[in-house]
Amino acid sequence: MQIPAPFDYVRATTVENALELLARYGPESRVVAGGHSLLPMMKLRLSRPEWLIDINDLYELDFILRDGNKLRVGALTRHTTLLESDEVAGLFPIVRDAERVIADPVVRNRGTIGGSLCQADPAEDLSTVCDVLGAEAVIRGPGGERILSMSEFHRGPYETAVGQDELLCEVRFGIRPRSGSAYEKVERRVGDWAVGAAGAAVTLTADGTVDDAAVGLTALGLDHPLAGAAAVLRGRHPDEELFAEAGRLAAEACNPVADQRGPVDYKRHLADELTQRVLRRACARAAQTQEG
């Protein structure tokens, strides 16, 4: 069995303590939460930190709470908790859609939202979810707290704005009325990384036209929400023609690479197909909240 190279281990007791430890041990230290991305990499010796700073005792980062028109989710919130939260599913059904297909139930017991976002794997689902929901990342460091939009947070594949001496502490989602969201992923098998996936969030006006919308893609070579989707969708009545137009836009905008999961033409097709599906579902859900 594969075994990580030697390292030293320290368990942080508070966020302050974690930041101190990060400052003390410097660039060769890594934070570990669920560990389901980091430890396999370490076992294969693709990652060799000298220090592991375990933040699993930072219970202050394990929360889901509604704060006015924001939903605040602590970075140490486990995937299982997010999946099972009826409040989250009621406000942002896309989260439950995505959580159902993230890894597998046992991995979801350990993996955290913060870990997923900071790993920033291009095939990682919650990044797309947070993108289309317009989430904010709350990051703490020696200089205090800063709040970044998702476009500021994501720097590219496996790269985020979280500095070496910083910690992602919280993700905040804005709650908007008459909104719906959805996520759909194609995978070769349950638990596999996405061949491709799409997420959408839609807000409708009182008369049922699109007020605002965002579409994001996972594993299809698009780091940020689809530029122009909102522009195309806004002010229009959601119908099949509109979804098809958005699908075409997504297919044009994406930039997938061929791999064992599929060739470029298939992935481009998925961008189109899945964009249509998630928009259709997100709009239906938004309409439902409107009726409700």
Partner 1 sequence: MQISMTVNGSDVTSEIEPRVLLVHYIREVLGLTGTHWGCDTSNCGTCVVLMDGQPVKSCTVLAAMAAGHDIRTVEGLATGGTLDPVQQGFMEEHGLQCGFCTPGMMLTARALLDKNPHPDDAEIRQAISGQICRCTGYATIVRSVQWAAAHPAGPGLDDAPATGHSAGTGLDGTDTAVPDVAAEIEDTEVKA
Partner 2 sequence: MTLIHDRQSNPAAGDEDRPIGYGRIQRKEDPRFVRGKGHYLDDIVLPGMLHGAILRAPVAHAKLVSIDTTNALAHPKVVAVITGKDLLGLKLAWAPTLSADVQAVLVTDKVRFQGQEVAFVVAEDRYAARDALELIDVEYDVLPPLVDARKALDADAPVIRDEIEGRTDNRIFDWEMGDKAETDAVFASADVVVSQEVVYPRVHPAPMETCGAVADFDAVNGKLTLYETTQAPHAHRTLFAIVAGIPEHKIRIVSPDIGGGFGNKVGIYPGYILAVVGSIVSGRPVKWVEDRSENLMSTSFARDYIMQGEIAATRDGKILALRTHVLADHGAFNATAQPTKNPAGFFSIFTGSYDLLAAHCSVTGVYTNKAPGGVAYACSFRVTEAVYLVERMVDILARKLDMDPAELRLKNFIKPEQFPYANKTGWVYDSGNYEAAMRLSMQLAGYEDLRREQAEKRERGELMGIGVSFFTEVVGAGPRKHFDIVGLGMADGAELRVHPTGKAVVRISVQSQGQGHETTFAQIVAEELGIPPEDIDVVHGDTDQTPFGLGTYGSRSTPVSGGAVALVARKVREKAKLIAGAMLETRPEDLEWEKGRWFVKGDPSAGKTIAEIAMAAHGTMTLPEGVDGNLDAEVTYDPPNLTFPFGAYICVVDIDPGTGQVKVRRFIAVDDCGTRINPMIIEGQVHGGLTDGVGMALMEIIEFDADGNCLGGSFMDYLIPTAMEVPDWETGFTVTPSPHHPIGAKGIGESATVGSPPAIVNAVVDALAPFGVTHMDMPCTPARVWAAMQGRARPPI
Q: Is 46 in the site for partner 1 (CB under 8 A)?
A: no
CB of 193 to partner 1, least distance (A): 11
170 near 61, Cβ under 8 Å?
A: yes
CB of 7 to partner 2, least distance (A): 12
Q: Which is nearer to partner 2, 5 or 227 (CB)?
A: 5
- CB of 190 or CB of 227, closer to partner 1: 190
Q: Which two tokens stand for residue 114?
A: 């913060």
- Per CB under 8 A, 156 contacts partner 2: no
CA-to-CA distance for 207 and 198, rounded, in angstroms?
26
- Piece of the chain touching partner 1 by CB under 8 A; list 36-44, 175-183, 218-226, 274-282: 36-44
Q: Does 241 bind partner 2 (CB under 8 A)?
A: no
What residues from 27 to 66 belong to the interface with partner 2 (CB under 8 A)?
45
Does 235 contact partner 1 by CB under 8 A?
A: no
Answer whether 199's CB lies under 8 Å from 111's CB: no
- Residues 161 and 199: their CA atoms lie apart, in Å, by 22
Of 67-96, which residues contact partner 1 (CB under 8 A)?
A: 80
Q: Copy the structure tokens of residue 50.
A: 């000298």
CB of residue 107 vs partner 1: minimum separation in angstroms? 6
Within 10 angstroms of residue 254's Cβ, the number of other Cβ atoms is: 22
Pinpoint the alpha helices (H) of the chain.
15-25, 38-43, 79-84, 86-91, 93-100, 105-108, 113-119, 125-132, 150-153, 229-233, 240-253, 264-291
Q: Which stretch binds partner 2 (CB under 8 A): 51-59, 69-77, 187-195, 217-225?
A: 187-195
Instruction: Give the DSSP letter string of 227-247.
Output: TTHHHHHTTSPP-HHHHHHHH
Q: What is the DSSP letter of 6?
A: P
Give the one residue of 67, 143, 156, 260 binding partner 2; rule: CB under 8 A. 260
Q: Tokens representing 98?
A: 């995505």
Q: Which stretches of the chain bind partner 1, using CB under 8 A?
A: 1-9, 11, 32, 35-36, 39-40, 43-44, 52, 54, 56, 80, 103-107, 109-110, 190-191
Q: Which stretches of the chain bind partner 2, using CB under 8 A?
A: 1-3, 5-6, 45, 104, 186, 188-193, 195, 260-263, 265-267, 269-270, 273-274, 277
